Amino acid sequence: MERFTVATYNVNSIRTRLPLVLEWMEKVKPDVLCLQETKVADDKFPVGEFEMAGYKVICRGHGGRNGVAVVLKEEPVEVQFGLDDGEEPDEDRLIKVKLPNGIYIVNTYVPQGRSPDSEMFAYKLRWFDRLKGYFERHFDRDQWLVWCGDMNVAPEPIDVHNPKRLLGHVCFRPEVWEAFERVKSWGFVDLFRKFHPDEPGHYTFFDYRVPKAVERGLGWRVDHILATEPLAQRCVDCWIDIEPRKAKRPSDHTPVVAVFEI
DNA sequence: ATGGTAGTAAAACTA
């Protein structure tokens, strides 16, 4: 039996958050860390700093916005960027890696959707359906597969601090619940909920614009780690790590960690 | 109440 740790973290700029991320990695020592909103072009990604810490970096970004990366201890045996269905691939929103131990990781930064009546919201819904097609084409549900990232969906009323007031938001309304569920129902288990069923008040995102949001508990659970059934059975713990929220300049998101015995 | 802050990048645009 081997301990295997995966984490997901929307860092909101990897260059700004680099010291915080490196310090956090020293504590948690994840085998794989999936990053979103790195907001940096590939040639400016701080690869050397992660290599100094003993990690490889797979990244895709163009600077400014979006950007994803997978930071990992072992060189992956397979890497793919973006959706490969012939539409806009969005390479700065999806990375797939296959690890030497046979586990696949798909790291996604799902489009946020801006407003319900916008073209970006329609794009978000379509993105989930394209992602379902991606999983259907590339995988079987009996494989060891992790899907993690910033999904921009709070799947249940217990995943937001005020479900009545927030109902209708692009991350909390029936169309996104259904779109997310269509992907999930292909064969994924929400690992945080596996260990904390029906528990409200666990959040991964706090809007910078809401005064004292963290202190007041005004959060959302929109960052997730899911796994196919056979791998979910090997998961022994999954938690939201609130420590990085206490930093001087925290990201508006916090990491989620899952531990497997494989 | 339609604001608020943070990030990129050099004026808005995104979240």
Nucleotides of chain B touched by protein CB (<7 A): 4-9, 14-15
Distance CA(A30)–CA(A34), nearest Å, equals 10
Asked whether residue A212, judged by its CB, lies under 7 Å from any atom of the DNA or RNA strand B, the reply is no
Name the pTM for this structure.
Answer: 0.98
pLDDT per residue, tens digit, chain A (262 aa), is 999 999 999 999 999 999 999 999 999 999 999 999 999 999 999 999 999 999 999 999 999 999 999 999 999 999 999 999 999 999 999 999 999 999 999 999 999 999 999 999 999 999 999 999 999 999 999 999 999 999 999 999 999 999 999 999 999 999 999 999 999 999 999 999 999 999 999 999 999 999 999 999 999 999 999 999 999 999 999 999 999 999 999 999 999 999 999 9
Closest nucleotide over all strands to A171 (CA to C1'): B15
Asked whether residue A28, judged by its CB, lies under 7 Å from any atom of the DNA or RNA strand B, the reply is no
List of A residues 215-254 with CB within 7 A of strand B? 249, 252
CATH of the domain spanning A3-261: 3.60.10.10
Distance CA(A77)–CA(A58), nearest Å, equals 12
Q: Which residue places its CA closest to the C1' of nucleotide B9?
A: A64
Distance CA(A171)–CA(A74), nearest Å, equals 34
CA–C1' distance A76–B12 (Å)?
Answer: 39
Residues of A identified as active-site: 109, 150
- Write down the domain spans for chain A: 3-261
Q: What is the pLDDT of residue A23?
A: 98
Asked whether residue A208, judged by its CB, lies under 7 Å from any atom of the DNA or RNA strand B, the reply is yes
CB A232 within 8 A of CB A191: yes
